[in-house]
Amino acid sequence: MECNNHKWIPLLGFYKKKTITTSLFTCLICGDLKVGERTIKISQFRLDMGNLPIKNVSTIGISESLASDHTASGTIVSMTAGENLVFGDFVYFKSDGKCWKADANGTGTYPCMGMAIATINADNAGNILLHGTSRDDSWTWTVGGVVYLSTTAGAATQTQPSATNDVIQVLGVATSANRIYFNPAEDYLTHV
């Protein structure tokens, strides 16, 4: 359903028995998602809500204590990969409607808007985390530290990119050595 007059309602998260605000909204009329200032057309990314738009949302649970390696919890959508992706690849959404590895020093390869949470072959659909938590036992984050988009395609770092024209984008915060709260900022700074 196409909508010319969105009626946005916020989606709320639930963390440690408390309701928290998120930067994710949905339209009561058509079901489109809005992250910051960007609208994600539901039909463009093959999400299907049938003809039952969301009428009321009381909570969305996001689990921080993920039980096993390569797991995620949060807002997850099925999207098509533009290239081969694996769990933990941070991606941007290209004008072709596909997910590609985000890169802080590439040309037009940012901002990061999602993270692959499974292996996805090029031109196939797979799960992308838009907002939530993820666990990878090979990560060695400093707990409580900010996680940034890296200058290595698809990767993240806790060291701010610092070369001329590098993009500084916050992707989230490390909640343990092997887990992050993924909440990518839509805005970014370009290092001069």
Model pTM score:
0.69
Q: Report d(CA 25, CA 141) in Å as an integer.
A: 29
Count the neighbouring beta carbons within 10 Å of the beta carbon of residue 132.
Answer: 25
Q: Which domains does the chain have, with CATH numbers?
A: 8-61 (no CATH), 71-190 (2.40.300)
pLDDT band of residue 12 (cuts 50, 70, 90) is low
Q: What does the pLDDT look like over 126-161, one tens digit per residue?
A: 999 999 999 999 999 999 999 999 999 999 999 999
* CA–CA dist 139, 149 (Å, integer): 15
Residue in this structure with the two tokens 């390696």, named with its chain if needed: 69
What confidence tens digit (pLDDT) does each residue in 13-63 have?
Answer: 666 666 666 667 777 666 677 776 666 665 444 444 444 444 444 445 566
DSSP 8-state class, residue 141:
P
Q: Are 111 and 101 in contact (CB under 8 A)?
A: no
pLDDT for the residue numbered 20: 64
Tokens at 7, concatenated: 């009626």
Q: What was the pLDDT predicted at 106?
A: 86
| Average pLDDT score over the chain | 82
